Structure 1
Amino acid sequence: MSGHGEHHSVPLSVLLKRELVNEKIEKPEIVYGQASQSKKGEDFILLKNECQRVMGDGVSTFSVFGLFDGHNGTAAAIYAKENLLNNILSAIPSDLNRDEWIAALPRALVAGFVKTDKDFQQKAKTSGTTVTFVILEGWVVTVASVGDSRCVLEPAEGGIHYLSADHRLETNAEERVRITCSGGEVGRLNTGGGAEVGPLRCWPGGLCLSRSIGDADVGEFIVPVPYVKQVKLSSAGGRLVISSDGVWDSLTPEVALDCCRGMSAEAAAPQIVNEALQAKGLRDDTTCIVVDILPQEQPHTSVRTQKKPMKGIMKIFRKKGSESSSHTNKEYVEPDIVRELYEEGSAMLSERLETKYPLCNMFKLFICAVCQVEIKPGEGISIHAGKTNPGKLRPWDGPFLCSSCQEKKEAMEGLRKSGRHRGSDSDD
């Protein structure tokens, strides 16, 4: 018998079981499918599973899913697909641990979107694109969006959670106010004689959206600053549906999720596209990505089997009492709750790149917070410069912008015209 105060050994089988349980909780299985029917050939997708990165506390993996719905040509959608991810990752310091990396994502997404837009404008092309960009790290889902492509989440516990914003001027009153305050005009197409038709548009240019990447011929008040939402799923998982407006103009989220219930992600995506085409025909490029976030032992079918999801937006989802966890060791299983970690949709860079939440050391003193170029001492401009009510902020408080990014910031806020090119279709 062991004497009093001696250490009791833990059987290897128990240690291995704990390790396996923790691994299942930390690393869900990601299964996805995609489908598309083309009308104009302007929808593009990005699918990257198991991307590796080296962090301060080891090597970790993440997955990326992007949908780019171009308009007025394909140049902006292709450019964003090829460059956006690298621009986002370059805005995150390399020495962060996993939790810090996740916390830094919302601001890095803002910086990456703005840099991608700024770089594309220098090519003097007038096309534009919506973007819905999803990064999965463990059970954490981070979504950034501009335009009217959307991402919805159906957790295993039930309900529908909207992870993107709709930046159509017709439906977004706040964006209409922002554009008019920045110097733009919002109205319908005038066919002559005072008759107005169609959806609300931004003038000049006539774009129906208030946010996008590209669109150099419309005006700086059409901004690339994304709405960002970050949630953490429970270990029960969930299903993401990422689709262009070709789907959402035909189907509600409830119908889209119901029509593929019980199907694998690979089968669900074409089913949603077919359902949209049956509803209204092929009026636009119609693209869908379905991503299932599953416990490792979960079969590759829809995570829920009940006939209809709960309606409305819910920020916290709890498992029903009749549903039991497959993990036998409850001590090591996360609570069955989907938690909202971050949500922000402001178009103001000074509000999106501030340093209070959730990480104070993300921005370096002599590096531009947007384009990541080095800034000589004394040349950086604080993101808070020009604030009428700076509060406790001082002129030397960062993060800082280079002169060209400061010009873009002021132009987006309606304070000045930028020097970006307009109205050219050259292929530089």
Structure 2
Amino acid sequence: MATDVRPRDPSIQPPMVPLATLIGREIRGGKSQKPSIKYGHAGFAKRGEDYFLLRPVCFRAPGDPASLFSVFAIFDGHNGASAAVFAKEHLLDHVMSTIPQGIGREEWLEALPRALVAGFVKADTEFQRKGETSGTTATLVVIDGWTVTVASVGDSRCILDSLDGVVSLLTVDHRLEENVEERERVTASGGEVGRLNLCGGKEIGPLRCWPGGLCLSRSIGDTDVGEFIVPIPHVKQVKLSAAGGRLIIASDGIWDALPSELAAKACRGLPAELAAKLVVKEALRKSGLKDDTTCLVVDIIPPDCTFVQPSILKQQNKFRSLLFGKKSKNGAGKPTKLSSVGAVEELFEEGSAMLEERLGKNISSMENSGNQRCAICQADQVQDDDQLVHSSDSFPATSRPWEGPYLCHDCRRKKDAMEGKRPRKSTMSR
């Protein structure tokens, strides 16, 4: 990688640039603007419930090299591995099935955040039909050129370490102990949040959702916990500069042991495969093997470059520290927000658990021959007054009119259940 990296004035805030403009620059720049992807993975199993997905070569249009994109994912199962295995095998297909065929790259990237929401919900619905009580976190990363889109439920995490040394968090942890908004949503939807109550009234451990005792507010699966534990992901889409960057995607076995900035710092300047091993080694050194521990490192590298050599990076960091001083961190040692020196452009971020807000209102659900296609499960249904969601009386009067795209009967019931608008099925405690 070129070594004449000049520090920039951090007081200069780069203007936000529309996605279409950014993509246009890539197209006009030709093949020289296309980054390469290098990746590595490492991990140790304690329960055997962590799974990961590596798909460095995918195509939006079969056989068209210009439509190349890459996918990487972590699935951290609980109460068994079946939900994690199911998500690994089916989640990506469900996401891709909701994106219209034959559209250009700009439209594809704009449709991707909504498709991720629909795909996560579809995967959850299909898995729950199996009648198993397992659940899983899911952090799915889609890389198309310099654009990175991350969707996540649970507490697996994805961070971005950019060339300027700023660590950015691309996911939100859905832990009831730490996420006040999620606690309020769960209780408003009919769940109860509290700690494990022992004999004598003593409460121990982290905050959990009851029934079931799950520590997370969002996951795929978990049939026995109530449908207010939702599969609707937080989605963030960013565009890197031509300098590239490094993604670290890992299960909570890593993040319970290492703050995000320490994980990034521990492996800077190393190739991706070795970096992943070093992050895992550092996590185990800090806390031992208390949980399944899995790490993926993905480098998005400018053309004709390799990873940054450690000695070079140290010189750059020392030079920056002399000019700008040390970078600020909050008291918890969490990563800062997106870089203020122009390394990253934030294109999209949304974490609402309301489907109406996530699927949008400007989606045509009408197909040829008068059919309706469900925005989630993609099932075609012949238009019929008894099936129209606006006129159906299968839902309680307290449910306000649905203003989003067409949902079939089952998916509409799923939506209402997640919002606490119908009685949940009886559940059993875990």
TM-score (norm. length: structure 2): 0.82
Residue deviations 1:158-201, cap 9 Å, x none? Answer: 31111111000000000000011111000000012111000000
Partner amino acid, structure 2, of 1:24 = S
Pick from 122, 126, 139: which aligns with 1:119? 126
1:328 aligns with none
Q: Provide the aligned length of Structure 1 versus Structure 2.
A: 381
CA distance in 2: counterparts of 1:225 and 1:82, whole angstroms: 18
The yes-or-no answer on 1:339 pairing with 2:345 is yes
The yes-or-no answer on 1:173 pairing with 2:180 is yes
Partner amino acid, structure 1, of 2:225 = V
The yes-or-no answer on 1:409 pairing with 2:409 is no
Partner amino acid, structure 1, of 2:294 = T
1:375 aligns with 381
1:159 aligns with 166
1:22 aligns with 30
The yes-or-no answer on 1:314 pairing with 2:337 is yes
The yes-or-no answer on 1:192 pairing with 2:199 is yes
CA distance in 2: counterparts of 1:400 and 1:190, whole angstroms: 43
The yes-or-no answer on 1:147 pairing with 2:154 is yes
The yes-or-no answer on 1:75 pairing with 2:113 is no
RMSD in angstroms over aligned alpha carbons? 2.8
CA distance in 1: counterparts of 2:361 and 2:397, whole angstroms: 16
1:366 aligns with 372
Displacement of 1:59 in angstroms is 4.8
CA distance in 1: counterparts of 2:340 and 2:43, whole angstroms: 31
2:304 aligns with 297
TM-score (norm. length: structure 1): 0.83
Displacement of 1:389 in angstroms is 11
2:248 aligns with 241
The 3-state SS of whatever aligns with 2:108 is: helix
Q: Is the 8 A contact 1:158 1:317 kept in 2?
A: no
2:42 aligns with 35
The yes-or-no answer on 1:400 pairing with 2:406 is yes
Identity %: 55
Displacement of 1:80 in angstroms is 0.4
2:272 aligns with 265
Partner amino acid, structure 2, of 1:313 = T
Displacement of 1:363 in angstroms is 7.9
Q: Give 5+ residue unaligned stretches, structure 1.
A: 1-17, 319-335
Partner amino acid, structure 2, of 1:347 = A
Displacement of 1:154 in angstroms is 1.2
The 3-state SS of whatever aligns with 2:381 is: coil
The 3-state SS of whatever aligns with 2:197 is: strand
2:230 aligns with 223
Partner amino acid, structure 2, of 1:412 = M
Partner amino acid, structure 1, of 2:53 = L
CA distance in 2: counterparts of 1:302 and 1:382, whole angstroms: 60
CA distance in 2: counterparts of 1:424 and 1:80, whole angstroms: 23
Partner amino acid, structure 1, of 2:306 = P
The 3-state SS of whatever aligns with 1:217 is: helix
The yes-or-no answer on 1:128 pairing with 2:151 is no
Displacement of 1:355 in angstroms is 3.6
Q: Is the 8 A contact 1:382 1:401 kept in 2?
A: no
The yes-or-no answer on 1:275 pairing with 2:282 is yes
Partner amino acid, structure 1, of 2:338 = K
Change (3 A) 1:154 1:401: same
CA distance in 2: counterparts of 1:219 and 1:386, whole angstroms: 18
1:62 aligns with 69
Q: Is the 8 A contact 1:239 1:293 kept in 2?
A: yes
Residue deviations 1:58-82, cap 9 Å, x none? Answer: 9501100010000000100000000
Change (3 A) 1:22 1:126: same
CA distance in 1: counterparts of 2:411 and 2:256, whole angstroms: 36
Displacement of 1:84 in angstroms is 0.2
Q: Is the 8 A contact 1:292 1:302 kept in 2?
A: no
CA distance in 2: counterparts of 1:67 and 1:423, whole angstroms: 28
- Structure ranking higher in helix proportion: 2
The 3-state SS of whatever aligns with 1:343 is: strand
The 3-state SS of whatever aligns with 1:192 is: coil
